[in-house]
Structure 1
């Protein structure tokens, strides 16, 4: 497995470069822009897009969850490079929206870079990585049904981002926080779905 490269702010800069001079951008171009940096940066950055204005586009959280699920399966299987099917790579996003989302995340990324560091690295090793992958896949399965509940998809995505940050910074404390957060995300997600079903009935 490759070493994760760069800080979160560096990863956002990589995405910006992929958007330069384009009215729209294919998802494959963004995936390729993150590929050489490793899985941690991708799993830390992409879920945060759901928290930005672009996350409010109907269907975007599910599209994002599918992309992240493919990357997570690749990580779990031990593949070094990213991959996505052509139909997913060809999915286009308006560059203006993505740029605004990246700009929205920049101040947050600088604060994260200043605070996080390698801690409890034993909890960020290969065993924890595999366990995190399984938990992440479970969280991503929740996203499509949760789109019917306002803001509910943010919970699973935040937890996925926490795992990604744990991998990026080799921060075992964040990995442990991710496992704890996953429990709350599942509970509140189920609660939201039950509440939504009850109100519609």
Structure 2
């Protein structure tokens, strides 16, 4: 029964991911990440974030604050970079919050160091969610890649760790660990084989789908 449930969960995740295909990821060196067009920000706030930065092998708007971690994901004894671009008002105490900030998502960048210079390797725009008073997300590194942790607080708490590793010149999900407490109490790990689940096909709402399945099993 557990094996069938495992297969069923993977199938559901793949079905949801196939709808977006490779739209999450771009491999365009020196691309420019601009201010999102669908976010409504007051003019006086935008005036504070004019201009661009050129870091990690890519140009991005000052609208984004960058948080980076060093990682040697391809084991060539050179430090590469995992970077999260967050809208400037996140983790801030100013009043420049757009009305639809819940749709203003962080961007995940992965850069390789080649000849002592950063070159953009992957851009993932559909993986991360913004932090809120009841939701906290962070990225940490490990020996094989990195981990995306999500912590949902409240009476019915939910905690997950998505393990991502670099292999076959790409990033893949190794496993998703989930823990729930409150009304629904369980602890499970969903594992994926080799090249079964590319990170480019993962989207931020997949964890919600997994939680819904587990809560109702």
- Superposition TM-score tier, normalisation by shorter sequence: under 0.3
The normalised TM-score by structure 1 is 0.27
Higher helix proportion: 1
Q: Which has the larger radius of gyration?
A: 2
The normalised TM-score by structure 2 is 0.26
